[in-house]
Amino acid sequence: MRWGSRCERGALPSRRRPAADPMLHSRRVIGATLFAVAVALSSAGAQPGLTEADMNAAIAPLDHRLASITQLKEPSPQQYVEAMLVWIDDLAAVGEKFESVSQSSGVRTRATQEMMKLASFARTRMREPERAIAIYRRAAERGAKARPGFGALEMDEQIADIDEFDLNDRVAAAATFRHIRDTTAGAGKQSRADYQAWAEWRRKWFDAEIAFLENGRRFDGPISAADLSGFAQQIYFLVGAAEGDLPFNIYDVPDRLSAATRDKLLQLPGSHGTFLHTWLYAARLQSAADAKVWLDRNDRAGFWTASLLALTAVADRTIGEKRIDTKRDLVSGLARMPSGQVTGFAILGRAYAKNHVLPTLPIAKSGPR
C-alpha cells in the first residue's frame, strides 16, 4: 500500500510489502487468529497411527455433502443454515480426531471460518440477527476453548456490532465492547510500531463506542498520526474479512458507480462490517451528501468517521494536483477518483480539516521494525 508523496517531512512508515494485489492481504488476515487457534489444538489428545491420507478420506464425503447443501442456499435458506451447522460440526470432529496430523490445523480453521461465514449469512441475507448471534457464540466457544481469554474476541466483536446496529441494544453492545477492551488491555506491547498503532487505535475505538452507547456522545476528539496508521491497517487488512454475503465485489470496484450501484450502496443495512466491506465503493461517491449518508449509516459513534476524514484530508493535501493510481494507492483513492476528480470523502475531509488539527506525519520512528 503506497501513501503518495511525503507530507510535512514524512509519511506513514512502509511495511515493505510487495506491490501485488493488496486485496489478497485481507484473506490472509481473516485466518491469522484462527490458524493460531488451530495450532494450539494440535498438541493435545492425539490418536496414534492416523495419517493425512486417512484424514483426507474422512473429509471427501463431507465435501460431497457440502455441494448438495450449498444448493439449498437460495431456495431454502432456513434449511441451508440447519444443514450447514451439522456439516460444520462434522468437519470439526474430523479435525479433532486427526489432531495428531499437522495438516488437521487447516481443517479446524476451515470449520471456524465456515461458521463465521454462516453467521454473516444469517445476519445479512436472512436478516435474522438473533440467529447470527447464536452462531457466533457457537464459534466463540471453540475459540475460547483453544485460546482462553482471547480466542472468542473476534466473535464477540461481531456480536457487539449486531447488538448496536441490528437490535439497537445499547446496553448489551456497550457491555461486550467493554469486555473486549478490558481483555485486550492486558495483551502487552506489540513487536512493531505500526502494529502497536493498530492495537491502540482499536482501544480508542472501543472507548468511543462505549461513550456513544452509554451517553449518546459522538467522538469529536483529536486524531493522531498513530491513529491514522492504525485506521489505515484496519480498513486495508480487513476489507475482505467481513460481510462476505454483501453484493459488492471488492476485487472489481468500478471507476465510477452507476446510479443503481450507488442506490444499493446507500441502502445497505448499517454496520462496521458493511463499512469494511464497502469503503472502496464509498470512495467512488461523488457528492459529500452521499458520503455523509454512508458514514452516518455505518459508524454511529463517530471514531471511524473522524479517522477516515483525517486520513482523507492528509492524502488530499499530499496529492495536490498530481495524478495517482487509485487502484494501487488505496489511501489516495479516498481523496481522488481514478479520473482525478475529488471524492465525496475529500470534500468532507476539507471541511473536517477546517475545524480540526491534522496530525503531522510520520508516526514515531522508535521501536522495533
What pLDDT digit, counting tens, does each position of 46-60 carry?
456 799 999 999 999
- Looking at 123, 146, 169, the residue that finishes a domain is 146
Please, which pLDDT band fits residue 31 given cuts at 50, 70 and 90? very low
Average pLDDT over residues 324-349: 86
Domain membership of residue 243 (yes or no) is yes
Predicted pLDDT of residue 328: 67
Alpha helices in 320-358 (DSSP H): 344-355
- Looking at 125, 146, 167, the residue that finishes a domain is 146
**Mind listing the pLDDT tens digit for each residue in 164-180?**
999 999 999 999 999 99
Domain membership of residue 205 (yes or no) is no
Predicted pLDDT of residue 246: 77
- Looking at 117, 146, 175, the residue that finishes a domain is 146
Please, which pLDDT band fits residue 243 given cuts at 50, 70 and 90? low
- Say what the pTM is: 0.80
Predicted pLDDT of residue 306: 98
Predicted pLDDT of residue 49: 79
Q: Are residues 41 and 3 in the same domain?
A: no
Please, which pLDDT band fits residue 42 given cuts at 50, 70 and 90? very low
Q: Mean pLDDT for the chain?
A: 83
End-to-end CA distance of the chain: 17
**Mind listing the pLDDT tens digit for each residue in 310-334?**
999 999 988 876 666 666 678 889 9
Q: Is the pLDDT of residue 9 over 80?
A: no
Domain membership of residue 303 (yes or no) is yes
Please, which pLDDT band fits residue 150 given cuts at 50, 70 and 90? low
Share of the chain above pLDDT 70, in %: 78
Cβ atoms of 234 and 204 closer than 8 Å: no
Classify residue 350 by burial, with Cβ atoms within 10 Å: 0-12, 13-18, 19+. Answer: middle
Domain membership of residue 182 (yes or no) is no
Domain membership of residue 190 (yes or no) is no
Q: Are residues 58 and 5 in the same domain?
A: no
The one-character DSSP state at 251 is T
Q: How far is CA 165 from CA 62, 126, 136, 261, in A?
A: 35, 15, 16, 22
Least confident of 95-99, 143-147, 338-342: 143-147
Phi-psi region of 147 (alpha: psi -120 to 50; beta: other; left: phi over 0): beta
Predicted pLDDT of residue 30: 40
**Structural domain containing residue 318:** 1-27+218-364
Q: How far is CA 255 from CA 69, 189, 252, 277, in A?
A: 36, 40, 9, 17
Average pLDDT over residues 203-223: 96
Domain membership of residue 369 (yes or no) is no
Domain membership of residue 21 (yes or no) is yes
